[in-house]
Structure 1
Amino acid sequence: MKPNDPVRVSFNPHDLNVLLVDNNLTSLFLISRMLRSCHYQVTPCTQPTEALILLRNGEIKFDIMITEANFSTEMNGIKFLETVKQETDVPVVIVLAEDRIDVVITYITKGACAYLPKPVRMEVVRLLWQHVVRKELLGFKKMDDGEPDSSRSGEDREFCGSSDGVSMEDEQKKVTGKKHRLVWTDDLHQKFVDAVKLLGIQNAVPKKVLELMNVPGLSRGNVASHLQVKSRKDNRTYARKLHRAKSF
């Protein structure tokens, strides 16, 4: 791929595979209908245990999961979310009937990528694909020391944190000798922050950030991992601000 070519992602909104979990049959039907009207492929189920079976058997590769938070079963919404995030890298959108900031904060800190209030609106459903694109662009599951997740398929690794089609595996081969743990010093972190600010958060993909930082020995994997850490911290900070604003 040429330097000026757009970032390639293996994604088509019309092919989006959505796992929908809601024990309210009316809500399940209505949200399913909205999703299908947006040409998403929907697999509906009513219980967390059923959803976990579908995720674990791997017959369908789900791009995103939308789940109700309140279940009248032995597994509550928090436990369900924690289990999904521990076992998969599927983005999870939480649907809540109650508009309580403290509850929203809890789900965000546990790994939810978004929160939707009930009743769910069509204009929000149409934009759900953005969460999948964000995951595709970053291309990284939780990893250690900026290395790609070994459980990913070769096809997934091809675009893992890369905007020019170069696999992270090939990039890592360029680094010779014993691998050392990268320490994000204050100076290195400031260069990272400056690069992200210059690009703007929407355009801050690992390759561009790496080029602007221009630090010898720093890899796309290191940058992508640090981007994820920053994103999680930003989400928690935003949630705390919302909570404080609500308390006044």
Structure 2
Amino acid sequence: MKKKKGDSMSGNDTFPVGMRVLAVDDDSLCLMLLEGLLRKCHYQVTTTNQAHIALKMLRENKNRFDLIISDVHMPDMDGFKLLELVGLEMDLPVIMLSANSDTRLVMKGITHGACDYLVKPVRLEELRNIWQHVIRKKKSNPLPPPPSGISTDQIENLSRKRKEEEEDDEEDENGNDNDDPTAQKKPRVVWSIELHRKFVSAVNQLGIESNYFFSTLSLFLIFLF
């Protein structure tokens, strides 16, 4: 079967050859050196010296890249902010890059979701093995990103609205005696990884173009909770 354009290279028999890497660094010289090393590893490399352009490319096609390497300190957008947005919207593996090897900075990168933290100057040996992060991310099967056309804010708003309704229900239950002693309080449902997967699956089946998308989606959430 012919591989569709934009599909992840991790499904190819030649992987990690051809792994698609987006490199982001405002330092042109560092970016050029990084690109050269990545190409020696037989990766497909796309470069940009601006974080907001990198984010724009990612949002336009979330399946365009397999891995991102981003500098920490950039003038237009902090590398940690880019890391946060990628984690929320695409959930791609991100490697942070910096000349600063301070332990606190490294810890900040890892705790914010970076899969690795490389210190400049980067060695070729370090880049030869970064493909493992793509496989690890794929195998771990984390929370899927929001379906195309649905923003993170929309999902958060739906979850917030449902939480407010639950709080109102609890206030009613605490403020009024229940006439039926056999009635049981509806158990609280925690928004787990499994529920999130069901949510995304339902959205994909409904299709965001449907006129009844949000009303049907609300019924789905009510059914779950």
Shorter chain as denominator, the TM-score bin is: 0.5 to 0.7
Distance 2:63 2:35 in 1: 17
Distance 2:51 2:78 in 1: 8
2:71 to 68, 73, 89: 68
Note if 1:31 corresponds to 2:34.
yes
Poorly superposed stretches of 4+, deviation over 6 Å? none
CA deviation after TM superposition for structure 1 residue 151, in Å:
6.8
* Residues 1-248 of structure 1 mapped to structure 2, 5 A cutoff: 10-11=11-12, 12-58=15-61, 61-73=64-76, 75-141=77-143, 144-147=191-194, 148=197, 150=200
RMSD: 2.6
Give % identity. 38
CA deviation after TM superposition for structure 1 residue 13, in Å:
0.3
Distance 1:41 1:77 in 2: 22
CA distance change for structure 1 residues 23 and 136 in 2, over 3 Å: closer, same or farther?
Answer: same
CA distance change for structure 1 residues 150 and 15 in 2, over 3 Å: closer, same or farther?
Answer: farther
- Compute the TM-score of the two structures, normalised by the length of structure 1: 0.54
SS in 2 for 1:44: strand
Per-residue deviation, residues 166-216 of structure 1 (Å, max 9, x unmatched) = xxxxxxxxxxxx879xxxxxxxxxxxxxxxxxxxxxxxxxxxxxxxxxxxx
8 Å CA contact 2:62, 2:90 repeated in 1: no
SS in 1 for 2:11: coil
Which of the pair has more CA radius of gyration? Answer: 2
Distance 1:93 1:78 in 2: 11
Distance 2:60 2:99 in 1: 30
Distance 1:92 1:151 in 2: 25
CA distance change for structure 1 residues 94 and 151 in 2, over 3 Å: closer, same or farther?
Answer: farther
Distance 2:43 2:81 in 1: 27
Runs of 5+ unmatched residues, structure 2 = 1-9, 146-190, 205-222
CA deviation after TM superposition for structure 1 residue 136, in Å:
1.6
8 Å CA contact 1:54, 1:60 repeated in 2: no
CA deviation after TM superposition for structure 1 residue 83, in Å:
1.5
Per-residue deviation, residues 114-173 of structure 1 (Å, max 9, x unmatched) = 000000000000001000010121222369423237279x9xxxxxxxxxxxxxxxxxxx
